Structures are given as C-alpha cells and as structure tokens.
Amino acid sequence: MIAAKNTSYLARVKPGWKFGTLLVLSIGLYLISSWQVLLPLFILSAILLLSARVDLKQLRMPLFSLAMILGIVFILLALQTDWANAVVSVLRLLTMCLMAYAVSLTTSFDAMLELFQQVASPLRFLGANPAQIALGLSMTIRFIPELKKVYLEVREAQHARGLGNNPLAVSVPLVIRSLKIADETAEALDARGYDSAPYRR
Amino acid sequence: MELPPIRFENVTVRFEERDVLKDVRLTLNEQRIGIIGANGAGKSTLSRLINGLVLPTEGSVHVGDLNTRNHAKQIRRDVGFVFQNPANQIIMPLVSEDIAFGLKNLQIPKAERQLRVHETLAELNISHLADRESHTLSGGEQQMVALASVLAMRPRTIVFDEPTTMLDLRNRLAFQREIAKLAQRAIVVTHDLEILEDFDRVLVVTDGAIAFDGRPEEAIAHYRQWSHA
C-alpha cells in the first residue's frame, strides 16, 4: 500500500520524527498491560488515523485482513491464557497498526526511501550501498504487480494449451519472462542515467 | 535548440559471430528521423548505439564531440530513450516518483525536481496521473509516463524504439501528436509507417545495412517494394 497524496498536518511532519515516534510508542505499548490504559490509546490512534485524512477506501482491505488475523490471535490467546490477556494483546496490536497506517499513509514513498537511506548509511562502512538497497526495495514493490500479471498471463496460456496447473509448465516461462523484464529494466536504468557502480570506500 | 550531429563511423556490431550491423556510415543532423525495416534487421541495435546502450564491435558512434564508448553517461544526459514496453521502463511505484527518478540521477535539487515533474506532467496533459501507482496505468498512460520521464530530463535528442507497438489506435494517434510537438530531435524506430509522413529523413535497414536513406515517401516505397519481393 503506497501513500496517495496527503496534505494533512501529519504529512508535514518530518518522516524521521514520525517513524522515530512510532518506534518509541510501539515499544512503550509493550510496557502497558492494563486494558483500561490501552483502550483510550487505541481510541486515540483511531482518531489520529481519521484526522490524517487518509483515503479510507484504500484502508478497507488491509483493515479487513487485520481484523481477520487479530480475530484468530484473540481466540487462540483466550483459549491458551485468559480473556483479559487476549484483550490486552489485541488492543496493543490494533493500536500499533493504526498508528503505523497513519504514519505510512502520510509519508510519500520517496520520503520513506530517503529515510531508509539515512538509517542504513552506517552500512557503508561494511561496503554496502544504501542507495542501491533502497532502489532494490522500491523496484521490488514496483515489480511485484508486474510479475503477478506475467504469472496470470502464463497460467492462462498454459490452460489454453490444456496444461492445467502443471507447476513446471508455469514456472519455466515465468522465469524466462522475468529475466527478460530484468534485462529490459536494467537497460532502462542505464538509459535514465542511473549509476550502478558499487559504492567505493 | 541546437542539435548535435550524430555520427556513425564504420560501425559494425557483432553478437555471437553474427553481424547485426555491418560497416554503417551515417551522419544524422535532422530533427525528425525514422528508422524502418524488417524484424531482426538491426533497427533496435542501431538506435541503442546512439546513447551507448550498445557499443560497436568495430568503428565508433559520436554524439557531437562525444564518443559513446568513452562518454556514455554524459551522452545519456542528452539522449533520452523510450522503450517499446513502457511497463519495464517505469522504475518507481508512483508516477511522480518515477519521473523524478532520472532527475535524481542527474543530481538535480529536490525543489527543481518537483517543479520539473509538475511541468512535464502538465505539458503532456497527464497531471491527473501524478499520484497513481505505476502498475494501475493503462498501456497508453504508461507510454505517456515513459515519455514524461524522459522529457523531464530535458534531452536534446529522444530515441523511440517502436513506441506505438503496444498501443491502440486512439493512444497511438495521441502519442504520434506528442512526438510531432516535440522541440527535441526525435529518432523513431517503427513499423508504423504513418508516423513517418512528416519526417525529414527515413532510413531503411535491411540485413544489418542501410538499404535506403532519404525522404519518407521514397523510403516507405522502397521498404514496401522490398517487403513484397
């Protein structure tokens, strides 16, 4: 899920502050074991998310998935420990997720990558190039839907040829087409002036 | 806009013992240049030589005073490339970020980047796509975004490798109009002969050689004749 353009007050806060606060609050939530304290915090996180003017339609599916997962967690914890403990754990996770949605949906992808590069900059001393890692991350997010599209096309073609769900019949063309995409994308990176030279210490 | 000449000096390109291009000698000075020919004739290789995506096995290619062998990075600042399949050319998950990607590589400051992204999108009438996720774009929209990402870098020459192959008629005509409007030099590799009608010069590539070089109507007639032979 990538942040659409957001103009709320939260979007104007520097990404470093937002993610730093999220980290501290998330750790802090684990120190609280009373549902009476966690419930107001959960309500506050919901208000934070709503006040950040995020696109609620964009959140419908993730929230539904989250509710399903937390429902299972709640039942399992309640059966293994007790109901109070299950309520505390689920409230904690819900609060954390709502805060995370508020932060990530008010931060542009570009700003997140910049932050990642700053945080990962000590890796330079190990010979790694944070900019390359960040580009790799963004390209992974970019190309997952493309690869899914290729997978569906290949599967459809194999079905049309009567090959059914044969994994080999799908995986071989999928790998070949993925390599072709990788080749063309590498060429596009070169054409757009990307310097792929490794980081030199 | 002053356009640097592009010179091919005795260029041969060999892939796995096969001569894809043989002893090509050319100087390109015109603003609108078309390249046509059969599949596998060497058109795409010829176009990729211009910004150093492919280097000659023998001979040299120069853009202005720069040799692609030694100055590919510098040349790519001045020669943009729009690929046949725009989906593989769009690198970033969001449209506006993808257009800014090339500018970042040119180390253009953030404020200037944002301005150029905004201007380029407006120029192509696709401002509404700025915040769209790249994978949700249609083929026509993807091709416009690919063009925008190149235009934002403000090259003086843009090479198009079969840019309309994956487009429907409506998008093809829209893209054709955008190419016609460009102030830059456009070098277009295509099977779409209608695009070339107003061009200054068309090269017909056959079996790795320039079989014809001249005005569009003559070049197209030559190509049709060759295709029927």
Q: Which of B50, B89, B110 to mutate to test the interface with A (most CBs of A within 10 A)?
A: B89
Does B148 contact chain A (CB < 8 Å)?
A: no
- Cβ atoms B75, B66 nearer than 8 A: yes
A96 shares its domain with A133 = no
Please indicate, yes or no, if residue A199 is contained in any of the structural domains.
Answer: no
Gap between the Cα atoms of B124 and B103, Å rounded: 18
The last residue of one of the domains, among A78, A97, A120, is: A120
Nearest CA-CA partner of B199 in B213, B211, B186:
B186
Q: What is the pLDDT of residues B145-161, one digit of tens each?
A: 999 999 999 999 999 99
* Cβ pair A193:B105 closer than 8 A: yes
* Cβ pair A142:B97 closer than 8 A: no
pLDDT bin (cut points 50, 70, 90) of residue A200 is very low
- Cβ atoms B132, B99 nearer than 8 A: no
A64 shares its domain with A99 = yes
Minimal Cα–Cα distance from B203 to chain A, Å? 23
Count of pairs with CB atoms under 8 A, one residue in A, one in B: 80
Residue A196 has what pLDDT?
59
The last residue of one of the domains, among A99, A120, A141, is: A120
pLDDT bin (cut points 50, 70, 90) of residue B111 is very high
Q: What mean pLDDT do residues B191-217 have?
A: 94
Q: What mean pLDDT do residues A27-54 have?
A: 92
Please indicate, yes or no, if residue A33 is contained in any of the structural domains.
Answer: yes
The share of chain B scoring above pLDDT 90, in percent, equals: 81
Q: Does B34 score more than 70 pLDDT?
A: yes
A17 shares its domain with A116 = yes
Contacts of A149 in chain B (CB under 8 A): 135
- Cβ atoms B131, B95 nearer than 8 A: yes
Please indicate, yes or no, if residue A13 is contained in any of the structural domains.
Answer: yes
Please indicate, yes or no, if residue A200 is contained in any of the structural domains.
Answer: no
Does B90 contact chain A (CB < 8 Å)?
A: yes
Least CB–CB distance from B105: residue in A142, A145, A192: A192
* Cβ pair A5:B131 closer than 8 A: yes
Q: Does A2 score more than 70 pLDDT?
A: no
Residue A1 has what pLDDT?
59
Q: What mean pLDDT do residues B24-39 have?
A: 95
Q: What mean pLDDT do residues A146-166 have?
A: 87
**Residue A177, both tokens:** 């087409």
Q: Where are the alpha helices (DSSP H) in chain A?
A: 15-29, 35-51, 56-80, 83-104, 109-119, 130-160, 167-191
Domain range for A142 is 129-191
The last residue of one of the domains, among A92, A120, A148, is: A120
Residue A56 has what pLDDT?
78
Q: What is the pLDDT of residues B57-104, one digit of tens each?
A: 999 999 999 999 999 989 999 999 999 999 989 999 899 999 999 999
A91 shares its domain with A169 = no
**Residue B24, both tokens:** 């090509």
Residue A4 has what pLDDT?
58
Which of the two residues, A35 and A54, has the higher pLDDT score?
A35
Q: What is the pLDDT of residues A49-107, one digit of tens each?
A: 988 888 777 788 888 999 999 999 999 999 999 999 999 999 999 999 999 999 988 88
A116 shares its domain with A176 = no
A100 shares its domain with A173 = no
Contacts of B161 in chain A (CB under 8 A): none
pLDDT bin (cut points 50, 70, 90) of residue A198 is very low
The residues in B 52-71 lying below 8 A from A, measured between CB atoms, are 53
Q: What mean pLDDT do residues A32-55 have?
A: 91
Going by their DSSP bridges, the two strands B6-15 and B18-28 should be labelled as antiparallel
A93 shares its domain with A178 = no
Please indicate, yes or no, if residue A164 is contained in any of the structural domains.
Answer: yes
- Cβ atoms B43, B209 nearer than 8 A: no
Residue B30 has what pLDDT?
95
Residue A100 has what pLDDT?
93
* Cβ pair A139:B91 closer than 8 A: yes
Residue A164 has what pLDDT?
75
> What rounded mean pLDDT belongs to chain A?
88
**Residue A121, both tokens:** 């900059």
Please indicate, yes or no, if residue A68 is contained in any of the structural domains.
Answer: yes
Q: What mean pLDDT do residues B21-38 have?
A: 95
Reported for A39-45, long-range contacts at CB under 8 A and 24+ positions apart, including other chains, are A39/A91, A41/A91, A41/A95, A42/A91, A42/A94, A42/A95, A42/A98, A45/A94, A45/A95, A45/A96, A45/A98, A45/A99, A45/A102
Contacts of B102 in chain A (CB under 8 A): 192-193
Residue B202 has what pLDDT?
97
Domain total for chain A?
A: 2
Q: Which residues of A touch B (CB under 8 A)?
A: 2, 4-5, 108-110, 135, 138-139, 141-142, 145-146, 149, 181, 184-185, 187-195
A160 shares its domain with A68 = no
A162 shares its domain with A140 = yes
Does B170 contact chain A (CB < 8 Å)?
A: no
Please indicate, yes or no, if residue A35 is contained in any of the structural domains.
Answer: yes
* Cβ pair A192:B101 closer than 8 A: yes
Please indicate, yes or no, if residue A97 is contained in any of the structural domains.
Answer: yes
Q: Does B14 score more than 80 pLDDT?
A: yes
3-class secondary-structure state, position A165: coil
A76 shares its domain with A165 = no
Q: Does B49 score more than 50 pLDDT?
A: yes
A115 shares its domain with A174 = no
| Phi, psi torsion values for B212, nearest 5 degrees | -155, 145
The residues in B 93-122 lying below 8 A from A, measured between CB atoms, are 93-94, 97, 100-102, 105-106
Nearest CA-CA partner of B145 in B168, B172, B175, B177:
B175
A89 shares its domain with A141 = no
- Cβ atoms B95, B134 nearer than 8 A: yes
Gap between the Cα atoms of B78 and B81, Å rounded: 10
